[in-house]
Structures are given as structure tokens and as C-alpha cells.
Chains A and B, each alone.
Chain A
Amino acid sequence: GQNIDQPTEMTATEGAIVQINCTYQTSGFNGLFWYQQHAGEAPTFLSYNVLDGLEEKGRFSSFLSRSKGYSYLLLKELQMKDSASYLCAGGGGSQGNLIFGKGTKLSVKP
């Protein structure tokens, strides 16, 4: 079957670092995506990994291990505006289809 698992909720402090983990089992693999979704808004693209290793983009980094079916999103220097849901998504059945996890709701506290 196809499955993407990530924690339901996390809490962190402003200025800190937080790591959001994701494990996946998909029938096809076209890469692993992370999206950010603020309440009531559309998901917005954050990162994409297709090869093993770490991709860094400013305060956000994403890691992939294909052999372990594992990824994480690392957020540094947390800001209050980072409070949102973070969605992990991976390649699905058809070439274009993505399978999404349920999302991790991150709350950043002062």
C-alpha cells in the first residue's frame, strides 16, 4: 500500500530549531516534497528532494534517505509566522499524482 506518516502536532519556541519527520511507503517514487499550509489557505511549496542528502534553503532544510523511506524538514530560527501545518508528500500511482501525509501542525510559542 501507499502511506505517508508524520507527527500530528509539534510545539517549539521562537528562535529555536525544530525537525519534522516523515516516513513514506509509495508504489512509485518521483521525489519527496514538503509544503507549508497556514490555516484556511492553500499549501505552498517549500522543498523537493529526489536524491539522498540535505537540501538547504535559507532557514529551511530538507533531508532524504531513500533506503530508509525517511525524510525530515528542519526549520531554524523559528518565527511566529512559521506556525502552520507542514505537509510531506511523495510520488503516487500516476506520474503526476502526489500522496500527502496528514500534516504536522507546528505551534511556535514566544
Chain B
Amino acid sequence: NAGVMQNPRHLVRRRGQEARLRCSPMKGHSHVYWYRQLPEEGLKFMVYLQKENIIDESGMPKERFSAEFPKEGPSILRIQQVVRGDSAAYFCASSPQDRGNYGYTFGSGTRLTVV
């Protein structure tokens, strides 16, 4: 039973380029969460999605960032016109419909470096 799959594991982008981060939830999980972790900082919530729906995007920056979880395929976190401050580890987590007391299962993360 594969866990949460994120790719790429490492991503280098020049300032102004676009970054696309992918996340495939665990089998049977219908809820996806994206978190960002800056060096020496805690995990910061960005967005919570179910299939074809954004449930909570209160942590998403107002510009340049978007997320989707289509009916088919992985969830995508898209960052347009990246800047140096976007360099961070981006973690995706998934949970079943009823999260209960199991919390999230996290993917291994995508480490974005903007040069």
C-alpha cells in the first residue's frame, strides 16, 4: 500500500519561472492538505482540498499560488513567477474521509529552491 507520493523530490527554479508540485494521496484517502515548511520554522497550513473542491485556502498567499485536486490524477500546487522567498519544503498530507485519531499521513515533500 503505497503512501503519499510527492514529486519531484527536489525542484530548482529560476526567479520568475513556474513551479508545479504534485501529490498523490494514499489509496482510499479523499482529503489532501498542503503545508509549507521554511528552514527553522514550523509547518504552515496552506490549503485543504477534496476531489474537485477547495475546502479551506485560508493559508494560501493571495497571489501566485493556486491548488487543485481534479477528479482524476494528483493534486497540484502551482506557484507562478517564483521568488527567492518561495524556497521551502512543501509537504502534502492525506487523510481518509473520517480522519479520526490517525491524523495525517505525510508525503516525503518537495524541496523547492529558487535561484
Contacts and interface: CB of A to CB of B under 8 A. Distances in A.
Given A94-B55, A97-B45, A42 B103 contact: no
Interface stretch (B14-22, B62-70, B72-80, B106-114): B106-114
Count class of interface residues, chain B: 20 to 34
Nearest to A46: B103
Nearest to B58: A93
A31 B104 contact: no
B55 A42 contact: no
B101 A48 contact: yes
Interface string A29-68: 0110101000001111100101000000000000000000
Interface residues of A, number: 25
A98 B101 contact: no
29 contacts: A30-B99, A31-B101, A33-B103, A41-B108, A42-B91, A42-B107, A42-B108, A42-B109, A43-B106, A45-B103, A45-B104, A45-B105, A48-B101, A48-B103, A87-B43, A93-B58, A96-B33, A96-B48, A96-B55, A96-B56, A96-B95, A96-B99, A97-B56, A97-B58, A97-B59, A98-B33, A99-B45, A100-B45, A102-B42
| Chain A to chain B: the 7 pairs with minimum beta-carbon distance, closest first | A94-B56, A102-B42, A42-B106, A100-B43, A48-B101, A100-B42, A45-B103
